[in-house]
Structure 1
Amino acid sequence: MSTALLVMDVQRAVVDLADDGSGYLPRLRRAIDGARAADIPVIHVVIALRPGFPEVGARNRALTAVARAGLHVEGDPGTEIHPEVAPLPGEVVVTKRRASAFSGSDLDVVLRARGIDSLVLAGIATSAVVLHTLCQANDLDFGLTVLGDACLDLDPEVHRFLTERLFPQWADVVTVDDWLDAVAR
């Protein structure tokens, strides 16, 4: 099996909104460094919408709220990947237009071109990009692991429910430390 670590929506504005002071970024950085050390590709996924939001339909409540708030506009400093987890030269950055890392992006093409059939998911928010990407990746028959403590949500209870009750139906849910131990073997 060929694996990639997806680091999703860890952008300046998202981190500013969601970081709860629990050491999220250093923990995520350990996962990224461990993946790199194990020659596991790290693929960064960002959400960026065009100025004027032509890809946002009126029936999409979440994206309509984002558009009204003027968030995630291409080129805005808030859409940049947080510097603590910035990509290295040559690492792929995928831009998406919806909640799932697959929607409106070329992620599937990148994964298939590299022969990747297993994904390790991390990112913000658990109830948005992680949930939607997990569902779609499951439907696409990828092997799946979620780094539960490398995901973060504005609602800790929703995060707990998803990582403890829902996600285990489709993926192995592990901690960063347990995953690093496994990849180091």
Structure 2
Amino acid sequence: MSDELTQNYAGAFDGHLPFGRRPALLVIDLVLAYTTPGSPLYAGPGIADVMACTERLVGAARAAGVPVIFTNVEYTPGGADGGVFYRKVPALRLFERGAPLGAFPPTLAPRDGEVVITKRYASAFFATPLAALLTAQGIDTVLLAGVSTSGCVRASALDACQHGFLPFVVRDACGDRHPAPHEANLFDLQAKYAEVIGEAQALAHLAALG
């Protein structure tokens, strides 16, 4: 982002949030629809780096005893339960029940006992039990990884903030189909709703808990 833009936000949108005492790692929609070349939702060649970073975060979280929560998207055939979102985005048909691209890649598959939140809209919190689940476990901080930065990651980070959880977006573990919306949304999230951190900082937080 330009110096002019940074200076414009200074003094109004430059606050910071502390890392909490009990985090969870939220892996958002890293399913085959976004990771497979040729898919209408393919997030581009950079998705390989996003997946590798997320795999390291998942490994570190598991080693530290930090809950790992995955999200996916699923609709009834025809999308009757998808509402306006399904009508607006034709590619969401890839997530009709049983569609192969809705599956998790083998390297980022949930383990037995790990929670999978199935959603129909952008935010992992909207019309799901996620907020109640986090509250019941005493979670105060959410590390966010996944796709897309400008869509479901942003919506989930905003809702984490609005539900009273400290959102920490791991920039290296988030991807979008073009760098412009990716960077613009990371800038805006850091300015208004979340902390945007790098992989090294996220791993250091997890290691300290372990």
TM-score using structure 2 length: 0.80
Contact 1:53/1:67 (<8 A) preserved: no
Residue equivalent to 1:3: 23
**Aligned match for 2:54, one of 28, 43, 55:** 28
Structure with bigger gyration radius: 2
Contact 2:26/2:143 (<8 A) preserved: yes
Residue equivalent to 1:166: 188
Deviation per residue, 1:117-140 (Å, 9 max, x gap): 211111110011111111111111
Q: What pairs with 1:81-96 in structure 2 (closer than 5 Å)?
A: 81-96=104-119
Contact 2:149/2:182 (<8 A) preserved: yes
- Specify the code of the residue in structure 1 equivalent to 2:118: T
CA distance in structure 1 between the partners assigned to 2:161 and 2:91 by the alignment: 31
Contact 1:9/1:46 (<8 A) preserved: yes
Contact 1:47/1:97 (<8 A) preserved: yes
Residue equivalent to 2:69: 43
Going from structure 1 to structure 2, the CA distance change for 1:179 and 1:74 (only over 3 Å counts) comes to same
TM-score using structure 1 length: 0.91
Task: Name the SS for the 1:150 alignment partner.
Answer: strand
Percent identity over the alignment is 34
Task: Name the SS for the 1:122 alignment partner.
Answer: strand
Q: Which runs of 5+ in 1 are unaligned?
A: none
CA distance in structure 2 between the partners assigned to 1:76 and 1:151 by the alignment: 24
User: Offset at 1:6?
Assistant: 0.2
Residue equivalent to 1:55: 81
Q: What pairs with 1:51-130 in structure 2 (closer than 5 Å)?
A: 51-57=77-83, 60=84, 62-67=85-90, 70-130=93-153
Contact 2:79/2:93 (<8 A) preserved: no
User: Offset at 1:183?
Assistant: 2.1
Question: What root-mean-square deviation, in Å, do the aligned CA atoms of Structure 1 and Structure 2 show?
Answer: 1.6
Q: How many residues align?
A: 181
User: Offset at 1:69?
Assistant: 6.1
Q: Which runs of 5+ in 2 are unaligned?
A: 1-20, 37-41
User: Offset at 1:63?
Assistant: 2.4
Q: Does 1:14 align with 2:14?
A: no
CA distance in structure 2 between the partners assigned to 1:177 and 1:129 by the alignment: 23
Task: Name the SS for the 2:95 alignment partner.
Answer: coil
CA distance in structure 2 between the partners assigned to 1:108 and 1:19 by the alignment: 31
